[in-house]
Amino acid sequence: MQVGLPRVHGQVGQHHPGRDREAEQSAQEVGSSRVGREPDASEAGLQLRALFRFREVALPSTYGRALHVHPLQEERFVVIRGRVEFVMGTRKIVCIPGESVVVPAGVRHTFKNAADGESEMFGEYRPGLPEHSRRFFEVYFGLARAGLTDLKGLPSIWQIAVEMPTMSDHVRLASPPWAAQRLVLALLRPIARLMGYRPFEVAQSNSALGTVPDTEATT
């Protein structure tokens, strides 16, 4: 079953062993990386045609991710193990293995494990925007493993302020409106830097973040 929705208008955290394990597993089990090019394809064209794929394993949790939007990317999920609860706009959907969900760009959403044990799903972004998507995944899981996020996976507002310039094309909080977020974060950014906050430095890792060509768009 596939569920699609129309467009909807719409602190330094503590160390959390379950959340950290979830993040570490997720980062380690992202799909293999491969970028496909046509001989005369421009870099911009590749960015638009590429998919960014990932694989997520989640522990049981009463907490979902913070409500967020992907302003430029459609996000697709396929549940392969357990049960996952999705909230999209005003709708709530629980998916079991074999069922999928499509979240159009701009729709606010979140998800959480709704099973008694682990759940697992594949996801992808269209277009991939691999530079922005990769940076988000590396920073998100890196901060979680370091115990620098809260129960909903958010780092401190100061860290968000210094990270957002490289991530806002990939993800934004669902509220307040983006214009207000952008203004507040711009005001906070110089203060955060004075406090010593810097963009998170991602250590070299063997984890692969998957960028693959969109074969549906080229056939």
Helix (H) or strand (E) holding 84: strand 84-88
Q: Does a structural domain hold residue 12?
A: yes
Q: Does a structural domain hold residue 215?
A: no
Q: Which residue has the higher pLDDT, 149 or 196?
A: 196
Q: Does a structural domain hold residue 218?
A: no
Q: Does a structural domain hold residue 211?
A: no
Q: Does a structural domain hold residue 154?
A: yes
Residues 139-171: tens digit of each pLDDT: 988 898 888 888 777 899 999 999 999 999 999
Long-range contacts of 31-40 (CB under 8 A, 24+ apart): 31/55, 31/122, 31/208, 31/210, 32/208, 32/210, 33/208, 33/209, 33/210, 33/211, 34/210, 34/211, 34/212, 35/130, 35/211, 35/212, 35/213, 36/212, 36/213
Q: Does a structural domain hold residue 210?
A: no
DSSP string computed for 187-211: HHHHHHHHTT--PPPPPP-S---EE
Q: Parallel, antiparallel, or unpaired: how do β-strands 84-88 and 109-113 relate? A: antiparallel
- Per-chain mean pLDDT for the chain: 76
Q: Residue 87: is its pLDDT beyond 70?
A: yes
Rounded CA-CA distance 153/75 in Å is 19
Query: Per the structure, how many domains does the chain have?
Result: 1
Domain CATH number, residue 17: 2.60.120.10
Residues 15-56: tens digit of each pLDDT: 343 443 444 444 333 433 333 333 344 555 555 567 899 998
Q: Which residue has the higher pLDDT, 131 or 10?
A: 131
Q: Does a structural domain hold residue 117?
A: yes
Q: Does a structural domain hold residue 135?
A: yes
Q: Report the predicted TM-score, pTM, of the whole model to 2 decimal places.
A: 0.72
Task: Determine the structural domain holding residue 102 and report its residue range.
Answer: 2-204
